[in-house]
Structure 1
Amino acid sequence: MIDPAVLEPLADDAWPARERERLGGWRLNASSGHSMRINACWPLTAPDRDPDDAVAAVEAWYAARGLPSRFKLTDGVFAPADLADRLAERGYHASKDTLVMTGPARGEGDLSVRIFSTPDATFEAVFTASAGDPEDGRERIEALGRIPPPACFARLDVDGAPAAIGVAALGGGFAGVFGMRTVPTHRRKGLARRVLRALLAEARQRGAERAWLQVESDNAAAIALYADEGFEPAYRYRYWSR
């Protein structure tokens, strides 16, 4: 089982925020305020000051950017150990329980799944359309462009039109899977599974041995798909907001 202290820094680097700063072992991420991962403080190890002063500094940092302060607390990986209690005393509450799953970087190539090193306009159109909120989609598209190379962008077309997409960010011997999207009219046809397998096969060829992904804990269908492909629960995290 992977140590979250090893994987969490890789996860932060794989989906970079527009603006990043650190307070010792606390990583501050800010973008446009939509995707929580790139609009939250990740307190992975001890801050460079008194914890209460660090929390106040985080709040001031986000307030200066017109964003709410938010903390991403991962089970077993945050400092100090009583940070959740300190946040609760300041009016914060936990939400969006998310499961991190890990599995082997194994799969099979699929001639219908095209792999690119950067996202093209068609890929971005599918991604934006599936986001619901256009501003949310725009922020995520910008984040896609910041993924450090090497990265794999997969697109599966059906009858000449894009139907499913996915992304793998490579680093540290791992493939981090993001952005799995299927056009609504093509859901429940096994397309996401094909995209996932093609991404993992490509990642394996590029040296990745293991893969990880993040899925909201109440998304039973996605969890079942990933479990069927050999992924197992590794740990959880939650966002603390006021």
Structure 2
Amino acid sequence: MIDPALLEPLADDAWPARERERLGGWRLNASSGRSMRINACWPLAAPDRDPEAALDAVEAWFAARGLPPRFKLTDGLTAPVDLAQRLAARGYASGKETVVMLGPLEALVRGEGDPAIRVTASPDAAFGAVFTATAGDPEDGRERLEALGRIPAPARFARLDIDGAPAAIGCAAIGGPFVGVFGMRTAPDHRRKGLARRVLRALLAEAKDLGAERAWLQVEAENAPAIALYADEGFEPGYRYRYWER
């Protein structure tokens, strides 16, 4: 499907953390501590020092920000290859697993989009209201909404209103021939009505118009309904990653 070494750097750039630093091929991300992707070390290639010294440096970097150290290990990409064993020796364990799904826009895009869906280049207050309201933790919602605002251009934010009120949202980060889909949320009163599918199709159609050729998204491995939706729309599993924490 795709080499994670190509897609993972794009994924990191598409959802930027508030603070970013590198130790060679290790990428350090920190925000407010909630969203795992922007509060973790991504060891995508060899660090610029001995691995044990790099682990010490990562732990110190997160400690200086009052955050617990966290590592995002991607199938077939983590460097060095024995990093999981090194982390286990320090008391870390593998936790939440995420599936990266992909597909060609030529097959994914169906029709010309949905005229009922408003697509903009930045999130507005109504978009933010749905995003925050559907977050289990308000602080987590705020952190993720801030991250959405940092997505580099071109980005697109889609919102579907029902009876004059925002009901479903989603956004897309477009980098060259790739488009990443993020922030798919539906207000509780409007779930199981097919709204997420309509928002997804509108985002993909817009991305195709902007020159994207392939789409990708990340979904928690335990979220069976979302995986089923994306599979039904033509996405296929590409690879997985897991977070390691103490």
The alpha carbon displacement at 1:132 in A equals 1.7
CA shift digits 1:10-56 (9 cap, x unpaired): 00000000000000000000000000000000000000000000001
Partner of 2:214: 210
Q: 1:141 Cα shift?
A: 1.0
For residues 180 and 192 of structure 1, what CA distance do their matches in structure 2 show? 7
Per-residue deviation, 1:134: 1.1
Instruction: Show the counterpart of 1:118.
Output: 122
Structure 1, 149-158 or 101-110: larger mean CA deviation: 101-110
Q: TM (normalized to structure 2)?
A: 0.97
What does 1:66-81 correspond to in 2, within 5 Å?
A: 66-81=66-81
Runs of 4+ in 1 over 4 A off after TM superposition: none
1:34 alignment counterpart: 34
Match of 1:73, as an amino acid?
A: L
Tell me the alpha carbon deviations over residues 136-174 of structure 1, each in whole angstroms, 9 at most, x when there is no partner. 111111101100000010000011110000000000311
Query: Which residue of the partner structure matches residue 107 of structure 1?
Result: 110
What is the CA distance between 1:78 and its match in structure 2?
1.1
What's the secondary structure of 1:67's corresponding residue? coil
How many angstroms apart in 2 are the aligned matches of 1:237 and 1:107?
29
Is the 8 Å Cα contact of residues 119 and 145 (structure 1) preserved in structure 2? yes
Identity rate, percent = 79
User: Does the 8 A contact of 1:117 with 1:152 survive in 2?
Assistant: yes
2:154 aligned residue:
150
- TM-score when scaled to structure 1? 0.99
Could you list the per-position Cα deviations for residues 105-154 of structure 1 after superposition, in whole angstroms to 9, with x for gaps in the alignment? 22331011110000001100110111121111111111011000000100
- For residues 224 and 143 of structure 2, the distance between their equivalents in structure 1, rounded to whole angstroms, comes to 26
- How far apart, in 2, do the equivalents of 1:234 and 1:35 lie? 22
Aligned-pair RMSD on alpha carbons? Answer: 0.6
**Match for 1:22: what amino acid?**
R
Deviation at 1:213, TM superposition (A): 0.2
Partner Cα separation in structure 1 for residue 73 and residue 229 of structure 2:
26
Distance 1:120 1:132 in 2: 21
The 8 Å contact of residues 176 and 211 in structure 2, kept in 1 or not, is answered as no
Distance 1:89 1:145 in 2: 38
Distance 1:107 1:172 in 2: 21
Structural mapping, 1:125-164, within 5 Å: 125-164=129-168
Task: State the match for 2:226 in structure 1.
Answer: 222
How far apart in 2 are the matches of 1:89 and 1:240?
A: 12
- SS of residue matched to 2:102: strand
CA distance in 2, matches of 1:70, 1:115: 35
Gaps of at least 5 residues in structure 1 are none
Structure 2 distance, partners of 1:76, 1:218, is 21
1:40-119 map, 5 Å:
40-105=40-105, 106-108=109-111, 109-119=113-123
Task: Show the counterpart of 2:186.
Answer: 182
